Amino acid sequence: MLVFVQFWIHLALVVIGIAYFLYSYIKERNLYQLLFVIWIPLTMLTYVSKNRVYLTILGIVQLLFFVLVIFFLFRRPRRKDSGYQSVIDQLDSYGAQDASQSEADGPAAEEPGEQPSEEPDGSQNTGE
């Protein structure tokens, strides 16, 4: 009777685990989540047979899944926004060049609070 109850609890947890990790995989696309979707139902195979060789092979397969999950869980994913980072680096270097150029101009550069010496359309104010 106890084995029967354990089986149904195990089955319920397997269904919940598969649903959760499948949803997570569809949403986030992490490989370890897909490995869990495969690994969790494999735990149900312990009810198929009590053969010692069979259970040993099943244990080795589950150990392999454990190692793979740990590996893919803690590895650093490749940066998808590396293209953006190079653009940001280019903009930073452009800003640094622009700042060094304005410092090289010396006192002729205008202060932020001063009025521009030229009109925006290029005509000079002659005071007439």
What's the rounded Cα separation, in Å, for the pair 67 and 58? Answer: 14
Contact 118, 124 (CB under 8 A): yes
Between 48 and 80, the higher pLDDT residue: 48
- pLDDT tens digits for 53-105? 999 999 999 999 999 999 999 987 666 655 566 667 777 777 666 666 666 66
Q: Tell the residue number behind the tokens 């454990």, with chain if given.
A: 66
For residues 67 and 33, the answer to whether their CB atoms sit within 8 Å is no
Give residue 127's pLDDT band: very low, low, confident or very high (50, 70, 90): low
Decide if pLDDT at 128 tops 60.
no
The pTM assigned to this predicted structure is 0.58
- Give the contacts of 103 (CB within 8 A, at least 6 positions apart): 109
What share of the chain has pLDDT > 90, as a percent? 54
Domain boundaries, the chain: 2-74
Distance CA 20, CA 54 (A): 29
Is-contact 4 23, C-beta < 8 A?
Answer: no
Q: What is the CA radius of gyration of the chain?
A: 33
